[in-house]
């Protein structure tokens, strides 16, 4: 059974940093892309960043490029999201997700999701 457990959220001031963690278990994720998404109150869930477990290619939303860094620790089966220079508009529930990378192209679908961790940035 796949489990994704996020941690590291909290209340910070604008300009501060936070590091979110996503502990993954239940299968081997070498063929997976691990993503971070966020959902602000009253808004849809949006993509933040992603990393291919094998190879380490990374992807970012334009709104976080240069401020957020996604990484993974294979030994710990954990994905991180380092968030620097936080802004009020980064306030949201942050979710970790895992999706199998299609072998012959096509759309990647995130099949597994964590419960989320709240990040609140005060202005």
41 contacts: CB under 8 Å, gap ≥ 6: none
**Three-state DSSP state, 9:** coil
Per the DSSP assignment, residues forming a β-bridge with 50 are: 35, 59
Tell which residue, 66, 114, 122, 42, has the closest CA to residue 90. 122
Helix (H) or strand (E) holding 100: strand 92-100
Q: Are 121 and 86 in contact (CB under 8 A)?
A: yes
Q: What is the pLDDT along the chain (123 residues), one digit of tens a residue?
A: 899 999 999 999 999 999 999 999 999 899 999 999 999 999 999 999 999 999 889 999 999 999 999 999 999 999 999 999 999 999 999 999 999 999 887 889 999 999 999 999 998
Is 44 in contact with 113 (CB distance < 8 Å)?
Answer: no
The number of residues in the chain equals: 123
């Amino acid at each position: 059974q796949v489990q994704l457990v996020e941690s590291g959220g909290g209340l910070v001031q604008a300009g501060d940093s936070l590091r979110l963690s996503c502990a993954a278990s239940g299968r081997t994720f070498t063929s997976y892309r691990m993503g971070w998404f966020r959902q602000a109150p009253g808004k849809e869930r949006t993509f933040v960043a992603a990393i291919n477990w094998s190879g380490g290619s990374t992807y970012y939303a334009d709104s976080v490029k240069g401020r957020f860094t996604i990484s993974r620790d294979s030994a710990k089966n954990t994905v991180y999201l380092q968030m620097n220079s936080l802004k009020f508009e980064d306030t949201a529930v942050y979710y970790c997700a895992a999706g199998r990378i299609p072998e012959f192209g096509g759309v990647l679908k995130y099949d597994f999701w964590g419960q989320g961790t709240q990040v609140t940035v005060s202005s």
